[in-house]
Structure 1
Amino acid sequence: MGKIIAAERQKEILKLLHDNGSVKIGQLAEYFQVSRETIRRDLAYLTEIGAAQRSHGGATSIYEFGNIPVETRINKNAETKIKLCEKALEFIPSTGVIYLDSGSTIVHLAQLLAKRSGCTIVTSSLSAANVLLNSDNTTIITGGQLNPSNMSIEGFQTTSFISNLKVAVAFLGTNGFEQHNGPAVSEFTDAQTKQAILPNAKLNIVISDSSKALTSALVQYTSWRDIDYFITDSELPKPLYDMISEMTNVILVDVHS
């Protein structure tokens, strides 16, 4: 990313905080191509005006990230997410079963799939299922307990149901992967659901915008080595690209074209 003025950079930092819940000084410095001291001044200013909270090595959102509704997160980085999902469509087979994970990016994929017909789609996301409601596809919802924060279905019934499935491709999300060697999420129950589908899909694909590289979610649900493709945008910092590329196939999408 080219250098930008302080006000624009601080606005972008707030956007990253709102989307991800936390940011790290080192990652921000690399992302904006400025010094760590510059980022510290930005975070000090944002803390002073009450827009962020300082934390060890970075800052956290003034809001509880886990409680931000998925409907709110869908609109964040929407254009980028849509372009990533358009790329993901290339991996959908003409026949076979597709699994859609929970999360805001996957809802955008469901919106694109709703324009198609003849697909069999299994999902643990009520938001995705709602989008597919009137489409010409067969939609199967996993059983289980509702998680209102991300409108997903989780728990023993969900993982038990998924463990009996075989799907052609599973599309998965992540809340962040900074400090991890694989995609991570904010809740253990979410991680369990994802872990249940991984061995039962011929192809596992993670879709995430590069801002998730700036936040570390609670629990890693798998290694990048167990993911077949990682679809992200071209703003992913090169050191991370190099590291992840050693473990999986990274597809960079130019979202500005």
Structure 2
Amino acid sequence: MTREERENQILQEVIVKRTVSVNDLAKKFNVTMETIRKDIAALQAKNVVAKNYGQVTLADPYMEDSFIKKETQDLTAKTKIAQTALELVPNNAIVYLDASTTVLQLARLLSLRSGLTIVTNSLRINEVLSNNLNDVLLTGGRYRDLSKSYFGDWTISAIDSINIDIAFLGGDGISNDGVTISSYGELTVKKEVIKRSKKTVLLLSTSKFQRIGKYTYSKFNDVDILVPERQLTVGERDNFPSDLSIMNQGE
């Protein structure tokens, strides 16, 4: 394993566990304490991890809020977005719902529909849809408690076998040319979903326009429709390509 590969795996370990001891990392990667400290120092120099009293965490700019905390944030905006997005769901479609809290609000509305095949990597969405008239498929995979979701090779393999009619995805923010996310595990899952979907819909409140996550998981030209909670200002619209379809409540 090269140093770069080890650094990437260290970062993934910290993303999943939130806090990891230096000793545990040295044991996991079977290297000396001196070597693991150099790896951590290299990641600190890139401002992606922090080390304090022998514990490694994500650096503050990339600290990700828990799903439970996110679920209660911007709830009015998320509900409006979900109501608009509901109009895009065809009858008898294969629908993918990702693990974002905005998409969770759409899942609540879809629990009143029937005849859909709903695929998700979200444990929380699976719980919401546990008693309804749709066929719900939970991907499984490596579980990440922070986002209440599954990721990894198993998850991607499950998605790779499904022909998705429409996918609804969230994000942590936007960059100059795409949608961003803070979790590397979520990034790889979302990329696979976009590849397998006939139509991709981004559910994103305008509060996210001033934020940026660690990874860009999709270019804007890979998204078919953006659904915010309200009509965008001219300045907000300039963040996106002119040919990106934007759907507001009531349109």
- TM-score relative to the length of structure 1: 0.70
Checking the alignment, whether the CA contact within 8 Å between 1:224 and 1:247 is kept in structure 2 is no
Contact 2:93 2:165 in 1 (8 A): yes
Q: Distance in 2 between matches of 1:189 and 1:240?
A: 29
88, 113, 125: which is aligned to 1:116? 113
The structure whose Rg is larger is 2
Q: Which residue of 2 aligns with 1:137?
A: 134
Match for 2:192 among 190, 196, 205? 196
- Counterpart mapping for 1:36-51 below 5 A: none
Tell me the SS of whatever aligns to 1:129.
Answer: helix
1:136 shift after superposition: 1.4
Q: Which residue of 2 aligns with 1:227?
A: 223
Counterpart of 1:205 (choices 201, 204, 226) is 201
User: Which segments of structure 1 move beyond 6 Å, counting only runs of 4 or more?
Assistant: none
Tell me the equivalent position of 1:95.
92
Amino acid at match of 1:77: D
How many equivalent pairs are there? 192
- Corresponding letter in the other structure for 2:236: L
Assess if the C-alpha contact under 8 Å between 2:94 and 2:164 holds in 1.
yes
Matched, 1:128 2:101: no
Consecutive unaligned residues in structure 1, runs of 5 or more: 1-61
2:152 aligns with: 155
* Structural RMSD (CA): 2.0
Matched residue SS, 1:102: coil
Could you say which residue in structure 2 is the equivalent of 1:166? Answer: 163
The one-letter amino acid paired with 1:246 is S
- After superposing the two structures, state which structure 1 stretch, 117-126 or 240-249, moved more: 240-249
Distance 1:64 1:242 in 2: 25
Aligned residues of 1:210 and 1:235 also touching (Cα < 8 A): no
Which digits, 9 at most, give the CA deviation of each residue in 1:93-123, with x for residues without a partner? 1122100011111111111111222211000
CA contact (8 A) 1:183 1:224 kept: yes
CA contact 1:107–1:128 (8 Å) conserved in 2:
yes
1:51 corresponding residue in structure 2: none
Deviations 1:222-252 (A, max 9, x none): 1110100000133644223134142411223
| C-alpha displacement of 1:132 | 0.2
Name the CA distance, whole Å, in 1 between partners of 2:91 and 2:73.
Answer: 31
Maintained 8 Å contact 2:83/2:249 = no
Residue 242 of structure 1 pairs with residue 244 of structure 2: no
Identity of aligned residues (%): 27
